[in-house]
Structure 1
Amino acid sequence: MDEILSNIDVRVEEIVPEQMNVNLLFTYCGQLLPNKLDYYYWNGFRNTRLYEAKDGRGTANFDDMLPTRDFPLYIEVAYTREAENYDSELNMVMNALGEMSFKNKNKTVSMKIQKLAAKEPVVSFELKPETITDKHAVLITDKDSMLSIMSRVEEVLLSGKIEGISDCFTPDGYDMFLTLLSYGKVNLVRKPEYRFLKDGNQTLCKSIPVQFRFTTANNKDFVEDLCFRFTPELKISSVAFTLTRQTENDILRDDKNWDESSKLLLINFLENYQTAYALKRYDYLESIFSDSALIIVGTQLKRTAVSKDMENFVKDNILYEQKSKAEFMESLRRSFKSKNYINLRFEDINMMKKSGQEIYGVQLKQNYYSNNYNDVGYLTLLVDLSEELPVIHVRVWNKNKNEYLSAKTIITRPYGYQLGEW
Structure 2
Amino acid sequence: MKRLSILFLLWSMVLGVNAQSVSFTFKDGIYNPSLKQTMERSVSSLLSEVNRAANNNGSLNLSSINMTSNAKASLNNLWDNFHFKCDESSYSENCLTAVNGYEIRGISVTLKNVDATYKGEVNKELTISTAKDGQITGVHMALANNVYNYVVNSGKDVTDTRRRLEILKFVEDFRSYYDEKDLEALRNVYSDDALIITGKVIMRKAMGNDQATLRPEIVYSRQNKEQYLTNLARTFRNNKYIKVKFDAIRVKRHPAKDGFYGVTLHQNWQSSNYSDDGYVFLLWQFREDENGKELPPVIHVRTWQPDMVGNQQLSPSEVFTENDFFIP
The alpha-carbon deviation at position 264 of structure 1 amounts to: 0.9
Specify which of 51, 58, 67 is matched with residue 169 of structure 1.
67
SS in 1 for 2:226: helix
Q: Which amino acid aligns with 2:297?
A: P
The alpha-carbon deviation at position 168 of structure 1 amounts to: 1.1
The alpha-carbon deviation at position 385 of structure 1 amounts to: 2.7
Whether contact under 8 Å (2:197, 2:222) holds in the other structure is yes
The alpha-carbon deviation at position 184 of structure 1 amounts to: 2.3
Can you list the C-alpha shifts for 1:235-287, whole angstroms capped at 9, x where unaligned?
11122221111210111111533533212111111101110100011011111
Matched, 1:139 2:23: no
Whether contact under 8 Å (1:170, 1:235) holds in the other structure is yes
Whether contact under 8 Å (2:46, 2:65) holds in the other structure is no
Provide the rounded CA distance (Å) in 2 between the counterparts of 1:369 and 1:170.
29
Whether contact under 8 Å (2:118, 2:272) holds in the other structure is yes
Whether contact under 8 Å (2:83, 2:113) holds in the other structure is yes
SS in 1 for 2:188: helix
Q: Name segments (4+ residues, structure 1) moved above 4 Å.
A: 305-308
Residue 156 (structure 1) aligns with: 49
Provide the rounded CA distance (Å) in 1 between the counterparts of 2:104 and 2:62.
21
The Cα RMSD (Å) is 3.0
**TM-score, normalization: structure 1?**
0.58
Provide the rounded CA distance (Å) in 1 between the counterparts of 2:218 and 2:276.
10
Identical aligned residues as a percent: 23
Matched, 1:208 2:101: no
Q: Which amino acid aligns with 1:402?
A: P
After superposition, the Cα gap between the structure-2 partners of 1:306 and 1:333, relative to the gap in structure 1 and judged at 3 Å, is farther
Q: Which amino acid aligns with 1:240?
A: H
Provide the rounded CA distance (Å) in 1 between the counterparts of 2:193 and 2:302.
11
Matched, 1:337 2:237: yes
Matched, 1:223 2:113: no
Residue 143 (structure 2) aligns with: 243
Whether contact under 8 Å (1:359, 1:385) holds in the other structure is yes
**1:390-405 alignment to 2 at 5 Å?**
390-399=297-306, 400-405=314-319
Q: Which amino acid aligns with 1:275?
A: S
Whether contact under 8 Å (2:283, 2:302) holds in the other structure is yes
Q: Which amino acid aligns with 2:97?
A: K
Whether contact under 8 Å (2:118, 2:270) holds in the other structure is no
After superposition, the Cα gap between the structure-2 partners of 1:183 and 1:208, relative to the gap in structure 1 and judged at 3 Å, is farther
The alpha-carbon deviation at position 375 of structure 1 amounts to: 0.7
Specify which of 183, 186, 195 is matched with residue 84 of structure 2.
186
Provide the rounded CA distance (Å) in 2 between the counterparts of 1:335 and 1:360.
28
Provide the rounded CA distance (Å) in 1 between the counterparts of 2:246 and 2:171.
9
Specify which of 267, 271, 282 is matched with residue 370 of structure 1.
271
**1:280-359 alignment to 2 at 5 Å?**
280-299=181-200, 316=216, 320-354=220-254, 357-359=258-260
Provide the rounded CA distance (Å) in 1 between the counterparts of 2:140 and 2:259.
21
After superposition, the Cα gap between the structure-2 partners of 1:229 and 1:164, relative to the gap in structure 1 and judged at 3 Å, is closer
Residue 198 (structure 1) aligns with: 97
Q: Which amino acid aligns with 1:152?
A: S
Provide the rounded CA distance (Å) in 2 between the counterparts of 1:389 and 1:270.
13
Provide the rounded CA distance (Å) in 2 between the counterparts of 1:353 and 1:262.
9
SS in 1 for 2:74: helix
Can you list the C-alpha shifts for 1:281-310, whole angstroms capped at 9, x where unaligned?
101111111222221113577xxx7799xx
**1 or 2, which has the higher strand percentage?**
2
The alpha-carbon deviation at position 377 of structure 1 amounts to: 0.8
Whether contact under 8 Å (1:195, 1:207) holds in the other structure is no
SS in 2 for 1:176: helix
Q: Which amino acid aligns with 2:100?
A: N
Provide the rounded CA distance (Å) in 1 between the counterparts of 2:111 and 2:146.
21
The alpha-carbon deviation at position 186 of structure 1 amounts to: 2.0
Provide the rounded CA distance (Å) in 2 between the counterparts of 1:255 and 1:165.
40
Q: Which amino acid aligns with 2:274?
A: Y
The aligned length equals 273
The alpha-carbon deviation at position 226 of structure 1 amounts to: 1.4
SS in 1 for 2:81: coil
Provide the rounded CA distance (Å) in 1 between the counterparts of 2:284 and 2:173.
13
Q: Which amino acid aligns with 2:75?
A: F
Matched, 1:263 2:155: no
Whether contact under 8 Å (1:362, 1:406) holds in the other structure is no
Provide the rounded CA distance (Å) in 2 between the counterparts of 1:164 and 1:320.
44
Provide the rounded CA distance (Å) in 1 between the counterparts of 2:61 and 2:189.
32
The alpha-carbon deviation at position 382 of structure 1 amounts to: 0.4
Matched, 1:383 2:284: yes
Provide the rounded CA distance (Å) in 1 between the counterparts of 2:133 and 2:241.
33
Provide the rounded CA distance (Å) in 1 between the counterparts of 2:226 and 2:132.
36
Q: Which amino acid aligns with 1:182?
A: D
Q: Which amino acid aligns with 2:43?
A: M
Whether contact under 8 Å (2:247, 2:266) holds in the other structure is yes
Structure 2 unaligned spans of 5+:
1-15, 17-26, 54-58, 207-213, 288-293, 307-313
The alpha-carbon deviation at position 154 of structure 1 amounts to: 1.6
SS in 2 for 1:390: strand
Provide the rounded CA distance (Å) in 2 between the counterparts of 1:207 and 1:388.
28
Provide the rounded CA distance (Å) in 1 between the counterparts of 2:47 and 2:315.
40
